[in-house]
Amino acid sequence: EVAELAEAGVPGAAKSPARFKGGSIEVKNIDMAYGAVQVLHDVSLKVEPGTVTCLIGPSGSGKSTLLRCLNRLVECRAGDILLDGESIYSQTPDQLRRRVGMVFQQFNLFPDRSALANITLALRKVRGMSRQEAERAASARLHEVGLLERKDHRPANLSGGQQQRVAIARALALEPEIMLFDEVTSALDPELVKGVLNLMADLGRGGMTMVVVTHEMNFARKVANQVVFMDEGRIVEAGRPADLFDNPQSPRLRRFLSEVL
């Protein structure tokens, strides 16, 4: 039935068949401090498997810090974070980071390596693959992000948008259950933003669980299942995009939206 609706072109009738097995996240009452300065206050958040959550809010509100807590780039001071119901503190950071991929504003590619080698290196080191296996898997990922024909190019010979897509392919190659994106389009020239956002929307449709810090309000509105507004280290409002954008409850969110929209 759903397939028929989808065939008839009814939008949203069917997700494309799940390519990914996205995990769930539950953040329970976390506090986080850099030294004496507390930057997250009692943050709680649920992310259902295969959904897209966008974190929005002013600069300095703690969005990046919350993302970093999720893969233990920083440690929280109180509270717990569950991945598929299990505390992320019951595994090593290395084990965790195989399950939780992250992509940054600065792509962090190795400048002296080809696009393909940037990915095979990660696969051989983290997954212990042979060269041949790694090249096969890396080529498949580059194909998925539309860059197979650029596999021998070094980062300097790729556009910013292409470099970011290689960085995303590298993270995907490790077959994570969760993908974290921290302002991945903020350093791109405007004409390159769309290609990266389209790729992210496609991953979301494929069933990847994603937490996305972004200033792209149109992306949040169209792609997110859940939007979370943060201010001063706290979650002020969270809910469906239409509810937050069209009917903000708090003066702080109303002010933020009036400034960015």
Contacts with ligand ADP by CB under 6 A lie at 34, 39, 57, 59-65
Q: What are all long-range contacts of 250-256, with beta carbons under 8 Å and residues at least 24 apart? A: 253/229, 256/56, 256/57, 256/58, 256/229, 256/231
Which of residues 39 and 238 has its CB atom nearest to Mg ion in the complex? Answer: 39
Which of residues 57 and 248 has its CB atom nearest to ligand ADP in the complex? Answer: 57
Among ligand ADP, Mg ion, none, residue 34 binds (CB under 5-8 Å by kind): ligand ADP
Residue nearest to Mg ion according to CB distances in the complex: 64
Residue with tokens 């509810």: 243
Burial class (CB in 10 A: 0-12, 13-18, 19+), 94: exposed
**Distance in Å, CB of 68 to ligand ADP, minimum:** 7
**Distance in Å, CB of 139 to Mg ion, minimum:** 33
What is the arrangement of strands in the sheet containing 226-231, beginning at the earlier edge strand?
Answer: 100-103, 178-182, 209-213, 52-56, 226-231, 234-239
**Distance in Å, CB of 233 to ligand ADP, minimum:** 7
Residues 51-70 that bind Mg ion (CB under 5 A): 64
Which of residues 13 and 39 has its CB atom nearest to ligand ADP in the complex? Answer: 39
**Distance in Å, CB of 92 to Mg ion, minimum:** 26
Which of residues 50 and 62 has its CB atom nearest to ligand ADP in the complex? Answer: 62
Q: Which residues bind Mg ion (CB under 5 A)?
A: 64
